[in-house]
Structures are given as structure tokens and as C-alpha cells.
Structure 1
Amino acid sequence: MAATMSEPRRVGFVGAGRMAEAIAQGLIRAGKVEAKQVLASAPTDKNLCHFRALGCQTTHSNHEVLQNCPLVIFATKPQVLPAVLAEVAPVVTTEHIIVSVAAGISLSSMEELLPPNTRVLRVSPNLPCVVQEGAMVMTRGHHAGNDDAKLLQNLLEACGQCIEVPESYVDIHTGLSGSGVAFVCTFSEALAEGAIKMGMPSGLAHQIAAQTLLGTAKMLQQEGKHPAQLRTDVLTPAGTTIHGLHALEQGGFRAATMSAVEAATCRAKELSKK
């Protein structure tokens, strides 16, 4: 019988890059799993040293990870994931929960490479998982049940927010949240440069811009307000904010942002088809 949600389990990682390390670090810091219960594999020691520093076990054998861990997170580069799945398929059993964080590889593609009835789930993370503030979505394959999804969601919430969605939303999430990190950084940079233009020192301007983004995000989350409502709360008749918003609208800010998410989503869909 497959392991239940209440049973302690070892967590394996195939691939030991930055995202794998971020997820492992989140799980350990949140007490979801002990460091000694984490086993990671990679072809070389280049990234495994980071797992060792966390107190995790490491190996160069992908098979060893599957043989010791019922829950295995595949964090390889997308272009090598099919070959890796084909390699480990002989040791995958019905006891395993297979999770992929590789972009562009569909659930059906993974299921075709693995034994029948394998429980497969797919996660789309973003870079803030590194600081346990990730925005993640997850989706499950045909044979993954509610308990499997709840288990994974419970684990990944150590790294931020994790929401189950239909697989069709994954590419949109890439455009919104994966690429969105770069869009937000661009806005933060521009916000600070506006202050620099007006005479504020660079370091101070960037510090205040980042804090402004952080504080605004927390208000949106904690107060549950629609962004338009919070924006209205800042406005006063003939005040500074409405003049600034007018300038943003003249520059096509809103349309440009929507187009950026659209372009990134379309590209993610193109890569998924390839």
C-alpha cells in the first residue's frame, strides 16, 4: 500500500540546482523533513556540495534516490528530463510519487515515459522560493490522488504559496510569476531611478523601492483587497499620486505589462510544444 500523508517519508531530488536547493532548504527550515531524510543526486559534485552543507545525503546515482525515497522531485533541465525519466523508469513503483519542476514537460509526456499507474505531479515554481516566498502552482496526472496532491502542497508551502490548478494554467503561471519576477525587478529599478533622477542617492532609492514593493504586496495579501481598491486609498484629489499615475498611463504602462505577460505565456506554450 502506498504511504499515507501521516507517515514520515524521505524526500529525494534528482538534480541539485538552485531551485532544488531552495525547495530542500524550505522543507528543512520549516521542519517538514529532517535534513538527513533528504537524498539528492547529480552527475558531479558542483551543486551537491550545497546539499551537503544543509546536512543532506548525496549520491551520483539517480537509481539510489528512487530506491530510497518514495517522494522524488525531478529538478533537472527540461531538455534532459525525458532521458532521466527513461533511465529511472525500471525502478519506479506504485509506491513512488514523482514530481517534476521542469518547465515545458507535460504530465502526459512524463506518464508515457514511466510505468503504468505512476503517480505524477507537476510543479511550476518561481525564484522567490529561494527566500521561502515563492508563488507556485501544481497540477496532477491521471493516477495521482487527493492525498498525493495534499501531501505535496503541504510540503511545498514551506517555500511559499502553492495552489493546485489545471495543467492549462501552468504556462500562464510561467508568464505571470516565473517571468513576472523579472518584470517586477524592472519596475523596481525604474522606480528607484526616478528617485535618483530627482536627487536621491542610488543605494537609498533602491532600498526604499524594494521595501515599497514588499509592503504593498503584504497589504494586498493580508488585507485581501483588490489592487484597484488599495490604489484608490492612496489617491487624493489633485495630489502627487494621481499625477504620477497619469504619467504611467501616458507611457502605456498597463498595456505594456499585460503584453509582457502575454508574450511570456505564448513563449512558454511554444516551448511546451517543442
Structure 2
Amino acid sequence: MRTVAVLGAGKIGEALLSGLIAAGRDPQSLLVTTRSGRAAQLAEKHGVRAASTAEAAAEADVLVIGVKPQDIEPLLVSLAPVIRPGALVVSLAAGLPTALYERHLPAGTPVVRVMPNTPMLVGEAMSVMSAGSHAGPEDMETVRELLSAVGSVIQVPEAQQDAVTALSGSGPAYFFFLVEAMIDAGILLGLPRNVSTELIIQSAVGAAKMLRETGEHPVALREAVTSPGGTTISAIRELENHGVRAALLAAIEAAALRSTELGAAHR
């Protein structure tokens, strides 16, 4: 069994550790590093091993890097002289290209860029992976296996990662924003907050399940709810009048542009 080290185990890193353990991985095959004393807490909580960056780099077959983007380059400088030859590096940092890692790490180091999202915390992540210059099919399968423990995984060319970041990386925030507005609408209409919240959350869960399990196009599912002259079409008209569709397109486009900007300084 390959040894996996999570460098910078914040919420996403801890979620990955939990998912791997739940999927049957031996906790002792998992290493964790943090800048604070949290590594020891995670070790006690999950049975994994706390380690320094140098210890993890020297031992691990797979290094999952979950530190903040601004901390990446100092970390890579410290990793370069101690990383185990042939180790696979997996980046979870938004916007940062694999070329940045390859520039700092020993020649030939396989790097895979991943854009996960926060539903990883409940085992329902959408993780999107892209191969760097030296990552082969076996490396991609290793990453797919790891990430499958915490949700769904697909692979795209790295040139599409800024779009992925905008769509699924930031995507949960758009849904939370919409749910928040709908709950407030229920309160405006006189419902208690707890009732409005339960109605909207279950409606969201049910709608998502219908999308996944029926395989129907969203338009077909929406039309099935939209009776001629009924309440739903009145609501849809107002959404269109207020430019909600155009606003979503513009918002996601802005997120993709920002992802591109974040990575531009490191290309």
C-alpha cells in the first residue's frame, strides 16, 4: 500500500484523510503535516502519523499539497532537496499550474493538478484532475483512486482548469447563495425560518437526485414542473426579467478570469 502524505491538512485535507480511512486504508499509511500543532491533533483523532515536511517528503509515495497558494513556493523550495525520487505530487491549490511545481521539484517529478470542492467534507466532492508533463496513466489512476474515496472524479486537460475552478470549485457557493435567497423568500411570505429552511433544503436535495438519477436534461425537468398559466411560469418570467441567467453566466465567467489571474503570476 502506498504511503500518502497530506501537507497542510486544513478542512479539505482532513476530509481526504477521513475518506481514505473510511474506504479501508490503514491510517498508519497516512502522514499529515501542518504549520501549527494541529498535526498532532489529527494524528490522535484519526490514527494517522504526524510528521515534519522533510520526514513526509522522504517517506511518502504520494504527496498531496493542500497549503494556501501564497505558501506554495516556499514549500516547494523546502521539498526539492528531500522529496523521495519518483514520488507523485498532487496539488489541491486553485489556479496554480503544474509547471510551477515542475520548475521547483527534481526533473521528471510527476505532478497532478486537482480542483476539488467543499462537499468533500461530506463525501460528495466533485474533483477534477489534470496531468502535468511527467504524469502518466498509472499516476492518474492513483489519484483517481484516492479521490474516489470522497466523491466523484473526472479528468480534463489542464487548460480547462480555470473553467473548472469557476464552475465546480466555486459552484457550491452559488447554490448556497441561491438557497439563502429562497429561504429568505419563504420568510417574506410568512413562513417560520425553520420551515422555510427545511422546504428549500429538501427541495434542493430532491432536485439534485432527480438530475443525477433520471439523466433528463434540466430543461425537461423544469418544464415538467411548469404548467401553462401556473405559478412556476410566473416565477420563471420574473427570473428572466431580472436577468438571473445572464447574471450567473457573468458571475462564473468572472470567477474563471480570477482563477486565470491567480495562476498568471506563477506561469
- TM bucket by the smaller chain? over 0.9
1:224 pairs with 2:224 = no
1:68 pairs with 2:65 = no
Could you list the runs of 4 or more consecutive aligned residues of structure 1 that deviate by over 3 angstroms after TM superposition?
A: none
1:194 pairs with 2:171 = no
1:24 pairs with 2:17 = yes
Q: Partner residue of 1:77?
A: 68
1:165 pairs with 2:146 = no
Alignment check: 8 A CA contact 1:17 1:47 kept: no
Q: Partner residue of 1:9?
A: 2
Deviates more, 1:174-183 or 1:161-170: 174-183
1:146 pairs with 2:137 = yes
Alignment check: 8 A CA contact 1:16 1:48 kept: no
**Which residue of 27, 33, 39 maps to 1:35?**
27
- What is the CA deviation profile of residues 68-100 of structure 1, one whole-angstrom value per residue up to 9, with x for unaligned ones? 210110111111111111111112244311111
Q: Distance in 2 between matches of 1:47 and 1:242?
A: 53
Q: Distance in 2 between matches of 1:149 and 1:179?
A: 23
In structure 2, list runs of 5 or more residues that go unmatched.
Answer: none
- What is the CA deviation profile of residues 151-201 of structure 1, one whole-angstrom value per residue up to 9, with x for unaligned ones? 111210111111111111111111112222211111001111111111111
Q: Percent identity?
A: 37
Q: Distance in 1 between matches of 2:44 and 2:250?
A: 42
**Which residue of 48, 52, 58 maps to 1:56?**
48
For the aligned residue pairs, the C-alpha RMSD in angstroms reads: 1.3
Counterpart code for 1:38: L
Q: Distance in 1 between matches of 2:53 and 2:39?
A: 15
Residue 48 of structure 1 and its aligned partner are, at CA, apart by 4.4
In structure 1, list runs of 5 or more residues that go unmatched.
Answer: 1-7
Counterpart code for 1:124: M
Counterpart code for 1:65: A
Alignment check: 8 A CA contact 1:135 1:160 kept: yes
